Structure 1
Amino acid sequence: MALKPSLRDVLPAATHDPARATLVSLQDAAAGTPWFVRILTGFGAWVASLFLIAFLSLGMLVGQEAGAIILGLLIIGGAITVRRLGNNVFLTQLALATGLAGQGLFIGGVGVLSESPEVAAMATLVLQAVLLFVYPDTTQRFLSSLFGGLALLILLRLLDAGVLMDVALVGLTVLAHLLFLNQGRLQRGARGELVTPAAFGLVTTLLYSLLMRSWLHDAYVSLFREGTAELPPGVLTLGLAVVTLYSAWRVLQETDSNPGGATGVTAFAALGLLAVLTLQTPGVIAATGVLLLGFHRRSVVLLGMAVVFILVFGVGYYYDLQLSLLAKSLALLGSGLVLLGLRFFILRRFPAAEEVR
């Protein structure tokens, strides 16, 4: 078993008592209210906000788009104010639900008034960029990163810049990997509270976009305008593979493993082979990169997302093969034998350290 160090092992001796006091205080705060009470309180806040928005939106009929924009901005401002008043569950969920409704009113009003989906996408991008910095809530910051990333990709697609959309997707992947790789250092900065939700939002944007491209390609093309040029899947796969290889190199460095040694060569060769075999399905190497980050950051959420999407993209890869069912079966059998052989080689060549008890 691999060694799992405790806080005592990784923190200086002078910080043990403050760290222990912080952990105890967090546990006491979490245990103050039962989980089912928090769920019911949050549900009540969402119901209350829905009634409020329904009442305020009664006058927002067709022809009142300007009023919807103004009302949406007022609701967003009120949600920010309410969220800053306290951290209890009711106020938090009330502000979140109300703020999301306000965002919908504002974006919908801009889209109908301008009669341009490009303007609506730009308004979404600007609004989410502002909320990412001014709205003090982890969930909203995650949603702002997700909605902002999707708005950027949709905007590029609507502007007949499909190639730039794919380049931007690789750029968002680079940003997500850098945020996770430098998470500890960045969280100590002035905007440290933005790092984790923004990183998760960008990863979700990446996986959702690749899912749309792989599984719903016809709807994806017709939705965002047909006839737009885009990068071949193989080129996008190679771009995502470069990002994953860089992250693997950084992880090897941080774990005191020699990237040029046997460990590094084995890891790079396996990732490169995976990218070459799945050129037509870029989601496989992208989800593998997320899996790498999940293991490195010990994030259960990242690991769960990566495993689910690897299975989804793996199924898509299987159905994309232009082979007969017999050939596909033989390919699955052969790949399984290769993976078992690789596992046997890794266990023999790099035995795991015994767990210290």
Structure 2
Amino acid sequence: MQNNRGVLTHLQQAGIVSPEQSQRLAQHGSPWWLQLLLGFAAWIASLLIISSFVGPLLALADNDVVRLFAAVVLLGTALWLATQQHDFVQQMSVAIALAGNGLMVYALYELSDNNHELARYACALISSILLFSRLNALHRRVSLTLAMLCLLSLIQSAALLAVLSNLLATLAVMLWCSRPRWVSLAYASRIKSLLEVTTLAALGLTLLGQCLFVFDSSNWLDNKLELGRALYSALGSILLISTVFWLSRLATVPSRLALLTTATLLCIVLYPASGLLVSLALMLACFYGCSKRWAGLCLLSMLFALSQFYYSLELTLLYKSGLLALSGLLVLAGWLLLQRYQRRLV
């Protein structure tokens, strides 16, 4: 691995490969099945090491100060292992860091007299701090996911959840659309981790917003679910129209008008299906960012949103069938208009 990095450095200095190409070559140094086996072996080894260290320590002195000391030792060990350029050691670093993070959060939870909010804030803070260390891509994604889940679990307002969901979706769309600009930067790998976690969170939250009445059966959020649903749909419509507006900036005026008109009418027709609108905007952004996997994931999110909308009991089946048929006709009409304008240019 070290020899490969040296060769890539010489190729980059000679101008044979670009920085982004060098980064991609460095990331694909070993096949996926070998990385999977190394990861499995590293996690088993990490569990054995952690149990042999933390178990006797807590058995001899079972108090919160000892737990904090053990957590600091585990986090320090994980940060040191993260500096080693080996797939096996990198996987061990992730496992040990997660154990240290969990042990520290548990110790803080006990010290604060079982304060759930403080424990979640602590978990988000520790995970965010770890992002500034030398972590691998997997560790960055896990830390971002933990921090985001802890912060989102503190939200108890449907309106605030709708606003945050669309803010995350907007951030994901902006990062996907600006991918050619930041992909060659030195910290591009960190932006990529943020982009992937943000896109996944946006897809999950937008589907949650469309199924808000089903998921909130235990009164987790406040009683303003109608306002939350309205914000989900309104902000999702604005996001879709803005995405189409930016992506069609180089098109001719008639083609751009056709695209914007089709997008606006789709937002009106599919207003109750907020998850479908946001997933469509994210799919367009992912397609523009040349990511087939994430575009496919957005397509699966669209299919889920479409299924939930069709089989929900809030509207009649005839009404929903009419809306879906009308939206299909709008997409077909927009496609025919674009084909007509393109033939005129040719």
Could you say which TM-score interval applies, normalised by the shorter chain?
0.7 to 0.9
Paired position in structure 1 for 2:193: 197
Paired position in structure 2 for 1:116: 115
Paired position in structure 1 for 2:162: 166
Q: How does 1:117-196 map to 2 (within 5 A)?
A: 117-157=116-156, 161-189=157-185, 191-196=187-192
Instruction: Flag structure 1 segments of 5+ consecutive residues without an equivalent.
Output: 1-14
The one-letter code sitting in structure 1 at the alignment partner of 2:162 is D
Output the CA distance in 1 between the equivalents of 2:14 and 2:327. 48
- Residues 210, 327 of structure 1: alpha-carbon distance in 2 compared, 3 angstrom cutoff: closer
Match of 2:34 among 37, 49, 73: 37
The one-letter code sitting in structure 2 at the alignment partner of 1:131 is L
Match of 2:91 among 90, 93, 112: 93
* Contact kept in structure 1, 2:162 and 2:228, CA below 8 Å: no
Aligned residues: 331
DSSP 3-state at the match of 2:301:
helix
Shift in Å, 1:47: 1.0
Output the CA distance in 1 between the equivalents of 2:101 and 2:107. 10
Q: How does 1:240-251 map to 2 (within 5 A)?
A: 240-251=236-247
**TM norm structure 2:** 0.81
The one-letter code sitting in structure 2 at the alignment partner of 1:343 is W
Output the CA distance in 2 between the equivalents of 1:25 and 1:332. 44
Shift in Å, 1:152: 2.4
The one-letter code sitting in structure 2 at the alignment partner of 1:47 is I
- Residues 343, 228 of structure 1: alpha-carbon distance in 2 compared, 3 angstrom cutoff: closer
Output the CA distance in 2 between the equivalents of 1:210 and 1:49. 36
Shift in Å, 1:29: 8.2
CA RMSD of aligned residues (A): 3.4
Output the CA distance in 2 between the equivalents of 1:265 and 1:156. 39
Output the CA distance in 2 between the equivalents of 1:65 and 1:127. 17
- Is 1:295 aligned to residue 287 of structure 2? yes
* Contact kept in structure 2, 1:68 and 1:109, CA below 8 Å: yes
- Residues 212, 141 of structure 1: alpha-carbon distance in 2 compared, 3 angstrom cutoff: same
**TM norm structure 1:** 0.78
Match of 1:265 among 246, 257, 264: 257
Shift in Å, 1:45: 0.5
Shift in Å, 1:172: 2.2
Paired position in structure 1 for 2:71: 72
Output the CA distance in 2 between the equivalents of 1:188 and 1:20. 8
* Deviation sequence 1:178-232 (CA, Å, 0-9, x none): 2222233334445333211101111111112233343474444637455577843
* Contact kept in structure 2, 1:46 and 1:93, CA below 8 Å: yes
- Residues 145, 272 of structure 1: alpha-carbon distance in 2 compared, 3 angstrom cutoff: farther
* Contact kept in structure 2, 1:45 and 1:93, CA below 8 Å: yes
* Contact kept in structure 2, 1:122 and 1:152, CA below 8 Å: yes
57-66 or 102-111, which deviates more: 57-66
DSSP 3-state at the match of 2:153:
helix
